[in-house]
Structures are given as C-alpha cells and as structure tokens.
C-alpha cells in the first residue's frame, strides 16, 4: 500500500527542515515545496530571500526528497506588499504575515500539492490543528514562547483541513536537539530573522520611500503634539510612525515618550507617556471565524492584540455593520489600528479580526 504523500513547505531553516525529516521518518512520501516570493538580493535571510530557495533545494537533495520551486512573486507583490504600503499610507500598521498566509503561502503550496498528488501539506510553524463539530481550527503550540497561532486566524476551513503542523507539540529546544541528532549541527546553530521577511535591515521607512517614489511630495512633515494640542516638535510624515513607538522620535519630554495617536487628516502625531497608551476597549472589523461559525451573542473569552503577548481576558459584543466591541478586564497597551485581534477559548483560536480603533 502506497504511503500518504505530503508536500512540506521548505525554507531552508531548521523548523521546516526538521518537519520534513520527522514526516519522512514516520513513513510518509515527502516532497519539498519552496515558494519564491521576492527577488531582492539584498535579503539574505528569512522565507523571502533567494538564499532560502537555494538552501531548501540543497537540504532536500541531502535527505533524498524531490524539491519544487513555485514562483509566487507577483501574488506576493500584489497582495502582501501592496497591502503593506497602503496600510501605512492610511496611518495604520499592517500585519503582513496574516495577509500572506492564506492568500500567498497556503494558496501556492496547496495548488502545487494538488498538482503533485499530495493529500496534505505540512509547515514548520509552532501551532496545532484540531477539529470539533466538523470545524477545523488552530490551537496554540506547546512552546508558548514560539507559538504562531496568532498569524493563522485567516486560514479557511479547506486550508486547515489539509494542513499538518508537526512541530506544534515540540519545544524549539527539542527541534534544535533533533537537528543535531540527525547530523545537521549547522542547521541547529542557524540564526533566525525576527524582521519583516521582505525588508532588509527592518527599515520599513526606506521601503516605503522606495515603493512610493513621490512620497516626499505626498507626505509632508508635521507636528508632534501632546494630548492638549501643544506642539513639541516636528515629525517626518505620519506613515513613518506606529502606535507605541518610542525610538527615533527625536523629541525630549524628560521621560520616555511614545506615539499615542496618528492623525492622517491633520498630519499630527500625538505623543504621551507610557500609561497614556493603556485602554480597556477596542473595535474590530473583518471578523473571520475559525472554531465556530459565528458569534450569536456576547462572549467572555480572551484576546491577543499583538504577536508577542499572552491572551488577555475580555468580553466581545456584536455591533451593527459586522463590527465587534472588545472590552478587556484589565487595560491593554498600545492598541494599534491595522493589527490583528485574535480570540482564544483556552488554547484554541476562535476567531480573529482587524483592529480599527
């Protein structure tokens, strides 16, 4: 009897490489698939680099599995990069991984997997897939310091049903130990980029200037102000800042100052003290339901408003026009329009949406 054929998303890094090895050892028929998403030689690490394609191909050869490259550069540019630029130009802070996962990564890998006769795909994400009541959903990874469930909320039921996350039950330290055990010491020591994958040196301001050539004509310098309207300095233009930003403001209040609000219409940026960014409420749009089909009444659950935080207890109420009001039991810091609010029932992702205010 032929073994089940699985397409493994490979980036050349330790996580996707060990994913392929684990599944191969379990007897699955493995093929490697790498997405070519960007063509800049300036990017030397991360899933968007051209180097990642070469490293994934080399690793596939070493472990004896077929390897395919899928060119999704145009999709990535039109979907992820366009959204990234547009959001900043609207005084919002985008979340490119959330946009990329369903619309580029899963789309590209699943399409290739179908062509190759694969029944499922697997990735090296630290998350888990579960199912109840004929619904598939994402569950947090065992290693909560690496958990990536936050960026998975827009995956649809078909995508989730065909996905495996083999690393979801492992700690990152265990994966590095496995790399050594398999004889890939260099892979275990490989550094990981924490930056936006398609932006060298994490310089998103330079990226905006490159992709909006007339940005200096469109966006003028403006005023840094306090909550009472007092002018305290000059900023370089509202797209170059984000809520909660402290570094690079070039102003002095005697204590650390943070971006509190960005007003596109007036081209003003309100700054304040850290506690000024605490709030109990936010509004969410574009809600996508995962574990359940919908909310029919208010729910007491928990939510994350950024990647590197823990879920906080909150109440979600349904508003008109498919909007939702989220009220936290305790204040949360730096609510940022454009970012994701992801809702949890224990370890399970219930839904996610886009923060509006």
Known catalytic residue: 197?
yes
* Annotated catalytic residue, options 79, 100, 118, 314: 100
| CA–CA distance, 275 with 3 (Å, rounded to integer) | 57
Q: Degrees (nearest 5) of the Cα angle 274, 87, 329?
A: 40
Tally Cβ neighbours within 10 Å of residue 268. Answer: 17
CA 307 to chain centre: 8
Q: Which two tokens stand for residue 133?
A: 């009541």
Closest CA to 94 of 264, 336, 260, 339: 339
Q: Does the domain spanning 5-125+165-201 belong to CATH 3.90.180.10?
A: no
* Annotated catalytic residue, options 48, 79, 197, 314: 197
Put the strands of the sheet holding 5-9 in their side by side order.
67-71, 29-36, 5-9, 120-122, 163-164
**Class for the domain spanning 278-355:** mainly beta
Q: Degrees (nearest 5) of the Cα angle 36, 341, 169?
A: 65
Can you name the residues that pair with 325 across neighbouring β-strands?
283, 317
Domain boundaries, the chain: 5-125+165-201, 219-272, 278-355
Please tell me what DSSP assigns to residue 288: E
Known catalytic residue: 79?
no
Question: What number does CATH give the domain 219-272?
Answer: 2.30.30.280
Bridge-based pairing state of the strands 231-235 and 222-225: antiparallel
Closest CA to 68 of 113, 104, 26, 103: 113
Same fold across 219-272 and 278-355: no
| CA–CA distance, 52 with 57 (Å, rounded to integer) | 8
pLDDT tens across the length of the chain (357 residues): 458 999 999 999 999 999 999 999 999 999 999 999 987 555 444 555 677 899 999 999 999 999 999 999 999 999 999 999 999 999 999 999 999 999 999 999 999 999 999 999 999 999 999 999 999 999 999 999 999 999 999 999 999 999 999 999 999 999 999 999 999 998 888 877 667 888 877 889 999 998 898 898 889 999 999 999 999 999 999 999 999 999 989 888 888 999 999 999 999 999 999 999 999 999 999 999 999 999 888 789 999 999 989 999 999 999 999 899 999 999 999 999 999 999 999 999 999 999 998
């Amino acid at each position: 009897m032929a073994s089940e054929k699985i397409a493994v998303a490979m980036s050349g890094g330790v996580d996707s490489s060990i994913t392929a090895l684990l599944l191969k050892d379990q007897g699955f028929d493995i093929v490697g698939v790498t997405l070519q998403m960007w063509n800049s030689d300036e990017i030397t690490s991360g899933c968007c680099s051209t180097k990642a394609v070469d490293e994934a191909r080399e690793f596939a050869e070493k472990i004896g599995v077929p390897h395919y490259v899928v060119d999704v550069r145009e999709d990535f540019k039109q979907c992820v990069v366009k959204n990234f630029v547009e959001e900043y130009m609207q005084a919002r802070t985008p979340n490119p991984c959330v946009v990329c996962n369903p619309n580029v990564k899963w789309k590209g890998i699943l399409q290739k997997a179908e062509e190759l006769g694969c029944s499922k795909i697997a990735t090296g994400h630290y998350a888990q897939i579960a199912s109840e009541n004929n619904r598939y959903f994402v569950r947090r990874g065992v290693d909560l310091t690496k958990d990536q469930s936050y960026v998975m909320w827009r995956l649809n039921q078909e995508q989730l049903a065909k996905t495996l996350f083999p690393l979801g039950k492992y700690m990152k330290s265990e994966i590095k130990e496995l790399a050594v055990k398999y004889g890939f010491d260099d892979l275990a020591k490989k550094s990981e980029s924490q930056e936006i994958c398609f932006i060298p040196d994490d310089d998103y301001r330079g990226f905006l200037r490159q992709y909006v050539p007339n940005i200096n004509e469109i966006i003028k310098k403006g005023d840094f102000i306090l909550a009472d309207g007092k002018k305290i300095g000059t900023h370089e233009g509202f797209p170059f800042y984000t809520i909660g930003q402290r570094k690079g403001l070039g102003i002095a209040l005697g204590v650390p100052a943070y971006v509190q609000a960005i007003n596109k219409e007036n081209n003003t940026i309100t700054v304040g003290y850290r506690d000024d960014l605490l709030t109990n409420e936010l509004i969410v749009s574009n809600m996508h339901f995962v574990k359940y089909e919908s909310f029919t009444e208010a729910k007491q659950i928990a939510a994350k408003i950024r990647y590197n935080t823990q879920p906080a207890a909150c109440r979600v109420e349904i508003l008109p026009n498919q909007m939702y009001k989220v009220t936290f039991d305790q204040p949360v810091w730096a609510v940022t329009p454009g970012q994701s609010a992801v809702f949890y029932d224990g370890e399970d992702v219930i839904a996610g949406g886009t923060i509006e205010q």
